């Protein structure tokens, strides 16, 4: 009998520190609380403390998962860590987490640098490891602290992004058919400069003798080349072009839109998600939105949305979910999850 990969459990962790719309309105007097919410659909974001890293959030998310899981940590044979906020340039943060979580030394552990489509990519990797017989229990961790890259005077990104980590257990199963299916991927590095931290790595390392210069853009946002830059209009155009094409590629005469019970997209912001929902003609009651309390958490946004939907009873055993991630890179991916 063939073995299939299935999602068994999801947990997530948010930092204690909260940045709400009232605090942002005080920092940016030209935007009031209602305007921020209307533009983003976000009420608050969670921000790491100065001495806290993405792997700290990841550790706590995993500890939550093991506390509630029927699968003990001793049975994890692969740890996949998706982040653009590593603890160090080297070694891989996944290896540090393997030791910190007391996982077996026979456990494979590796990082991959992916953003908003990272959860989809991670599920695809886990499926490959399990269904090829290499592993039985894969711990997929997504964790980001974009707040570390954001200039506090740049409202174009400070209003959107929050920090988080999510831990997803993917297990080998004897289910009668694939539970993770119809993976589609894409990338276009021509859009790399539209969502980027220009300085800090090998292409443009920091120079101790010359600190990056802060500048003001046409919208009154301040940043330097050491900060996160997002070209909002370009990202919106990319999303409106690539996501509908990706979405369409997931369906055919054997599996149609009507076969999907729910749709969960990368939880970017209210404006973008509503535009995509309308473009794709998806019913609001089938379209998951769960980011009001945490903002855009990059690779964590889809697992957080799934976990919240599970808690509310929206996702049930047997639910068929179409999942789509898209963003920084440019990179995009989609799949079908049978719960």
* φ, ψ at 303 (rounded to 5°): -60, -35
Contacts of 100 (CB under 8 A, 6+ apart): 55, 59
In angstroms, the CA 160 to CA 147 distance is 10
Catalytic residue check, 296: yes
In angstroms, the CA 157 to CA 295 distance is 11
Nearest to 337 by CA among 188, 201, 140, 200: 140
Catalytic residue among 116, 135, 294, 300: 116
In angstroms, the CA 226 to CA 221 distance is 14
Catalytic residue among 151, 294, 296, 335: 296
In angstroms, the CA 126 to CA 123 distance is 5
Extract the tokens encoding 36. 């921020």
* 3-state secondary structure at position 252: coil
In angstroms, the CA 196 to CA 179 distance is 34
Catalytic residue check, 300: no
Task: With residue 99 as reference, give the H or E element that holds it.
Answer: helix 93-100
Nearest to 2 by CA among 180, 174, 179: 174
Catalytic residue among 266, 269, 294, 300: 266
Please measure the distance between the N-terminal and C-terminal CA atoms of the chain and give it in whole angstroms: 20
* Inter-residue contact 139 to 102 (CB < 8 Å): no
| Residues catalogued as catalytic | 116, 266, 296
């Amino acid at each position: 009998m063939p073995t299939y990969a299935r999602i068994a459990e999801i947990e997530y962790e948010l930092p204690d520190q909260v940045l709400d719309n009232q605090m942002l309105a005080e920092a940016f007097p030209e935007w009031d609380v209602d305007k921020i919410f209307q533009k983003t659909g976000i009420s608050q974001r969670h921000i790491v403390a100065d001495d806290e890293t993405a792997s700290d959030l990841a550790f706590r998310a995993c500890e939550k998962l093991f506390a509630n899981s029927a699968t003990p940590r001793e049975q994890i044979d692969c740890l996949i860590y998706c982040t653009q906020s590593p603890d160090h340039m080297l070694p891989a943060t996944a290896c540090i987490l393997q030791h910190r979580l007391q996982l077996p030394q026979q456990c494979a552990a590796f990082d991959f640098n992916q953003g908003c489509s990272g959860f989809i990519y991670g599920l695809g990797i886990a499926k490959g490891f399990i269904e090829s017989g290499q592993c039985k229990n894969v711990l997929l961790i997504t964790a980001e602290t974009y707040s570390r890259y954001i200039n506090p005077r740049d409202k174009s990104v400070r209003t959107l992004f929050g920090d988080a980590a999510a831990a997803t257990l993917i297990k080998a199963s004897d289910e009668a058919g694939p539970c993770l299916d119809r993976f589609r991927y894409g990338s276009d590095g021509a859009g790399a400069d539209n969502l980027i931290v220009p300085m800090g790595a090998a292409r443009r390392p920091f120079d101790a003798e010359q600190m990056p210069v802060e500048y003001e853009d046409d919208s009154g946002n301040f940043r330097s080349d050491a900060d996160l830059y997002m070209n909002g209009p370009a990202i919106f155009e990319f999303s409106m072009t690539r996501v509908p094409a990706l979405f369409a590629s997931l369906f055919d005469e054997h599996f149609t839109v009507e076969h999907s019970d729910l749709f969960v997209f990368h939880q970017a912001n209210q404006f973008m998600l509503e535009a995509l929902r309308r473009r794709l003609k998806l019913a609001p009651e089938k379209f998951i939105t769960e980011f009001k309390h945490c903002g855009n958490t990059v690779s964590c946004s889809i697992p957080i949305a799934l976990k919240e939907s599970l808690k509310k009873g929206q996702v049930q055993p047997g639910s068929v979910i179409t999942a789509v991630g898209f963003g920084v890179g440019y990179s995009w991916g989609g799949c079908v999850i049978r719960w």
